[in-house]
Structure 1
Amino acid sequence: MKKVKDVVNRNLITVSPSSSFEEVINIMKKGVGKVPVLENEKVVGIITRDDILVKEGKFPLPPVIAFWEVMITLPGNKEYQEKLNKFSSYKVEDIMSKVKMYSSLEDNLEDVVTEMLNKKISYTLVLENEKLVGIVTKSDLIKHF
């Protein structure tokens, strides 16, 4: 019988509530979709790609002007700059969400996956002695099996 410890991803990148939006974006550009938020070594939240995309609508893109078949972006546009500055001023604590599920290393993997499916979530944070030791995501499960 497989346990969470058999598939847990221990290569965690975490941030603090006061970390910048830019820091989170740079982490996610490396392919990390879920970033736990720690304060004094305790989990206080998580940031997912959805938290960023849904917070204030989608991340702003510069307006585009099309002349026949030529497209010109206008990154200096005032409205775009205001939206970009607003996004850039966010701190992690402004966009993080509550963790929806925790597991332990010794939990039965089948039970954990069933709970993830029932709750319609794509991750569980793994704790040992109340400390974060890893994460299990749907991607981790696919890689393992």
Structure 2
Amino acid sequence: MDIFEIAKGIFEKEARAVLDLVKHLDENFNQAIDLMLNTKGRCIVSGMGKSGHIGAKIAATLASTGTPSFFIHPGEALHGDLGMLAPDDVLIAISNSGETEEILKIIPVVKKRKIPLIVMCGRQNSTLVKQGDVFLNIAIKEEACPLQLAPMSSTTATLAMGDALAAVLMKVRNFKPDDFALFHPGGSLGRKLLTKVKDLMVSTNLPIVHPDTEFNDLVDIMTSGKLGLCVVLENEKLVGIITDGDLRRALKANDKPRFDFKAKEIMSTNPKIVDIDAMASEAEEIMLKHKIKEIIVGKKERVVGIIQLYAIGNV
């Protein structure tokens, strides 16, 4: 038994199932987006069994990306939870066969309350599709399951369709990283996107030197600053930066180490700078792009601090 070949076959079958969805894209997808975008209520997702698990994930993705949404279990819906649906909502019902009994039983109430019904289904002529207002075709050629029993390719295709809806809605709504952060304050990404440079920068005892500062003083100031750099100011204006790497390169530049140079001889001019009110994620992006570990913080052309890459990484 070749385990890797079996796994490879599963990946290929599921990948084909997702790619086949491209062929199913039609005006129904546009209609689904219009309904979800223009509803004054929420996008409710419902499904039974494995489709229910996928539906819960789709609802969670929608909710976290700007489309108010939650999952409702069809079994619980039949015993009171249908009261959670309001006339301004949209219902997305998921059933690969289109004949799931629990789903079909809630449809009359949905229709009576005139709630728009989007159906994700793999059978175009099924009972559920005939009841729906919009049909999103998630039909597959074969399940990845070796026994053709457990839903694998079908659930993957369903999840991909849900992701496509969420992603398109994000684009149409112009959903931005800052919006995402508002819904994810507890996660590392959310904290980074909500944290500003001024929250993390070092602003006291900054290692500041003059262009004419001599080597010995330069080393003392850099060491006491504990940031691995010195900021070079002239008449309170930023003219350069000296890192510990600049110092090492200067000392190795000659056969005999020199200890008589001044700051202006080894400083890097036009250093990178970030505004005090910028997001920490912006500062991180600049540092990663330019392969630096610290960046100067400015406010109205004044140097007010230093922010280090590790400080953002610890958020």
Under a length normalisation based on structure 1, what TM-score does the superposition of the two structures give? 0.74
For 2:290 and 2:207, locate their aligned partners in 1 and report how far apart those are by CA, in whole Å. Answer: 24
Deviations 1:59-99 (CA, angstroms, capped at 9, x unpaired):
x9xxxxxxxxxxxxxxxxxx8xxx35xx2210111111124
Residue ranges of structure 1 left out of the alignment (5+ in a row): 61-78
**Shift of the alpha carbon at 1:116?**
1.0
**Shift of the alpha carbon at 1:56?**
4.2
Question: Residues 293 and 309 of structure 2 are in contact (CA less than 8 Å); yes or no, is this contact kept in structure 1?
Answer: yes
Matches within 5 A, 1:5-20: 5-11=198-204, 12-20=206-214
Give the CA RMSD over aligned residues. 2.0
User: Is structure 2 residue 123 aligned with structure 1 residue 123?
Assistant: no
User: Is structure 2 residue 203 aligned with structure 1 residue 32?
Assistant: no
Select between 101-110 and 36-45 the one with higher mean Cα deviation: 101-110
**Shift of the alpha carbon at 1:139?**
4.1
**Which residue identity lines up with residue 229 of structure 2 in the other structure?**
K
> For this pair of structures, how many residues does the alignment match?
120
Structure label with greater radius of gyration: 2
For 2:212 and 2:288, locate their aligned partners in 1 and report how far apart those are by CA, in whole Å. Answer: 32
Change (3 A) 1:32 1:5: closer
**Which residue identity lines up with residue 3 of structure 1 in the other structure?**
K
For 1:103 and 1:32, locate their aligned partners in 2 and report how far apart those are by CA, in whole Å. Answer: 17
1:64 maps to: none
1:3 to 188, 191, 196: 196
**Shift of the alpha carbon at 1:26?**
1.3
1:43 maps to: 238
Residue ranges of structure 2 left out of the alignment (5+ in a row): 1-193
Question: Would you tell me which structure has more strand in proportion to its own residues?
Answer: 1
Under a length normalisation based on structure 2, what TM-score does the superposition of the two structures give? 0.36
Higher relative contact order (CA 8 A, sep 6+): 1
Report runs of 4+ in structure 1 exceeding 3 Å deviation: 139-142
Deviations 1:4-62 (CA, angstroms, capped at 9, x unpaired):
1111110212000000010111123333311100000000001100111012417x9xx
For 2:286 and 2:242, locate their aligned partners in 1 and report how far apart those are by CA, in whole Å. Answer: 20
For 2:284 and 2:310, locate their aligned partners in 1 and report how far apart those are by CA, in whole Å. Answer: 12
SS of residue paired to 2:230: strand
SS of residue paired to 1:29: helix
Matches within 5 A, 1:1-145: 1-11=194-204, 12-30=206-224, 31-57=226-252, 83-84=256-257, 87-141=258-312, 145=315
Question: Residues 18 and 91 of structure 1 are in contact (CA less than 8 Å); yes or no, is this contact kept in structure 2?
Answer: yes
**Which residue identity lines up with residue 24 of structure 1 in the other structure?**
L
Question: Residues 101 and 123 of structure 1 are in contact (CA less than 8 Å); yes or no, is this contact kept in structure 2?
Answer: no
For 1:8 and 1:105, locate their aligned partners in 2 and report how far apart those are by CA, in whole Å. Answer: 8
